[in-house]
Amino acid sequence: MRVWAIALVALAALISVSLCLGAANLDGEGWLLTVSRIPRTMAALLAGAGLALAGVVVQQVVQNRLVEPSLTGAPEASMLGLLAVTLIAPGMAVAGKMLIAAACALLGMTGFLALARRIPREDPMLLPIVGIVYGGILGAVCVWFAWAKDLVQYLGAWRLGEFSGVMMGRYEWLWAIAALAGLLYLVADRITILGLGETQARSLGLDYGQTRALGLVVVSVITALVLVTVGAFPFVGLVAPNLVARWRGDNLRANLPLVAVGGAALLLAADVIGRAIRYPFEIPAATVIAVFGAGVFLWLLHAAPGARHG
């Protein structure tokens, strides 16, 4: 219970700072709260929770805790799909764009999994390297495509996620993440068993292929939702699950909510810092989280595995 008390107090503090922080004074301007500040805070919370959960699922599927969705080529593949949509059918409804972005993310991850199959699991450092370079290659294709078709400004907005443009009526798609989080919690045990590896999972009677497919579809949808609404954020899916696992262990039935809260707090903190550090100008949350996340990643690479827990 103490864990939860700490997490929730920290989250509440962050939320109140986020609600009060802004160029305009709130006195007598209640509409500002509902139109801008609350949506912005909610968007950061939902996106952070979603990315953290997606990170857990990917880590269990590939049995490697140094991987996360943005290291599997999923966002880059999604951007490629979105660029194509912008070019071919610029007037497409948001739902259609989401669908195509999710489908492309799934395709991109499938390519990554095909590469992952060729890599022995005994060398956990290799998989993230391959993922980064794979994402880089897809990203190069994106840049080339965007240049050739004069779509660079779109790409810039997707690659560097931020929340300054979030307003009422422009972020509500992110609420779908809440539903997906509920779904993941229902199958938390199955996702943990995925992490034991295919043979062991099937020996326990789990339908491995079906569970994995479900997990990857959820990850793709979350990636697409976040990317289309607020842009890409690196490392959230890596940092939040790893910190929770080091502290509380790997049992997702117990820890999935904590991972979600952790991711939400992380991204909101990044946004708040980005807003506060050079007030009244803003630094994109993606930049803040990239620096912080890379630092944590380096620490994870060199820290000894965590000791006892629970």
Partner 1 sequence: MIEINGLSYRIDGTKILHDVTMRLESGGITALIGPNGAGKSTLLHCISGLETPERGTVRIDGLDPFAAPARDRARAVALLRQSPALVSRLSVRELVGFGRWPHHQGRPGAADRDAVDRALGAFALADLAGRSIATLSGGQRQRAFIAMTWAQETPWMLLDEPLNALDPRHARDLMARLHALSRDAARSIVIVLHDINAAAGWADRIVAMKAGRIVAQDACAALLTEDTLREVFDTPFELLEHRGRKVVVAR
Partner 2 sequence: MAERRVLWLGLGLMLLSAGFLVWQIRAPYGFILELRAAKLGALICVGAATGAATVLFQTVAGNRLLTPGLVGFDALFVLLQTVLVAGLGGVGFAQIPTAPRFLIEAATLGGGATLLFGLLLRRDAQDVMRMILTGIILGVLLRGSAEMVQRLMDPSDFAVVQQAMFASFGAVDAGQLGVSAVVLLAALALSLRLAPALDVCALGRDTSRGLGLHHDRLVMIALLLMAAMVSVSTALVGPVTFLGLLTASLARHLTGTHRHAVLIPAAALLGALILVAGQFLFERLLGSASALAVIVEFCGGLTFLFLVLKRRRR
Contact residues for partner 1, defined by CB under 8 A: 63, 121-122, 124, 189-190, 192-193, 195-197, 199-200, 202-207, 245-246, 249-251, 253, 305-310
Nearest to 131 by CA among 143, 119, 142: 119
Rounded CA gap, 232 and 114, in Å? 23
- To the nearest whole angstrom, how small is the minimum distance from the Cβ of residue 193 to partner 1? 6
- Region of residue 180 (left: phi > 0; alpha: psi -120 to 50; beta: else): alpha
Q: Which stretch binds partner 2 (CB under 8 A): 105-113, 132-140, 204-212, 239-247?
A: 132-140
Taking the least distance from each CB to partner 2, the nearer of 147 and 175 is: 147
Taking the least distance from each CB to partner 2, the nearer of 96 and 295 is: 295
Rounded CA gap, 294 and 58, in Å? 19
Site string (76-115) toward partner 2, x via CB under 8 A: ---------------------------------------x
Q: Which stretch binds partner 2 (CB under 8 A): 19-27, 77-85, 142-150, 199-207?
A: 142-150
Interaction of residue 165 with partner 2, rule CB under 8 A: no
Tell me which of partner 1, partner 2, none is bound by residue 170, counting a contact when its beta carbon lies within the kind-specific cut-off of 5 to 8 angstroms: none
User: Rounded to the nearest 5 degrees, what angle is found at the Cα of 286, between the Cα atoms of 89 and 74?
Assistant: 50
Rounded CA gap, 147 and 145, in Å? 5
Tell me which of partner 1, partner 2, none is bound by residue 192, counting a contact when its beta carbon lies within the kind-specific cut-off of 5 to 8 angstroms: partner 1
Token couple for 104: 């492309």
Tell me which of partner 2, partner 1, none is bound by residue 295, counting a contact when its beta carbon lies within the kind-specific cut-off of 5 to 8 angstroms: partner 2
Which residue in the set 100, 105, 116, 134 belongs to the binding site for partner 2 (CB under 8 A)?
A: 134
Four-residue CA torsion sign, 103, 104, 108, 111: positive
Q: Residue 143 — φ and ψ, nearest 5°? A: -60, -45
Could you tell me the CA-to-CA distances from 273 to 33, 66, 67, 289 in Å, in that order? 19, 25, 25, 10
Tell me which of partner 1, partner 2, none is bound by residue 251, counting a contact when its beta carbon lies within the kind-specific cut-off of 5 to 8 angstroms: partner 1
Tell me which of partner 2, partner 1, none is bound by residue 118, counting a contact when its beta carbon lies within the kind-specific cut-off of 5 to 8 angstroms: partner 2
Could you tell me the CA-to-CA distances from 295 to 12, 63, 261, 273, 301 in Å, in that order? 25, 22, 21, 16, 10
Tell me which of partner 1, partner 2, none is bound by residue 206, counting a contact when its beta carbon lies within the kind-specific cut-off of 5 to 8 angstroms: partner 1
Contact 14, 273 (CB under 8 A): no
Nearest to 47 by CA among 279, 264, 287: 264
Tell me which of partner 2, partner 1, none is bound by residue 110, counting a contact when its beta carbon lies within the kind-specific cut-off of 5 to 8 angstroms: none
User: Rounded to the nearest 5 degrees, what angle is found at the Cα of 260, between the Cα atoms of 295 and 123?
Assistant: 50
Interaction of residue 301 with partner 2, rule CB under 8 A: yes
Contact positions vs partner 2 (CB under 8 A):
66, 115, 118-120, 123, 125-126, 128-130, 132-134, 136-137, 140-141, 143-144, 147-148, 234, 277-278, 281, 283, 287-288, 290-291, 294-295, 297-298, 301-302
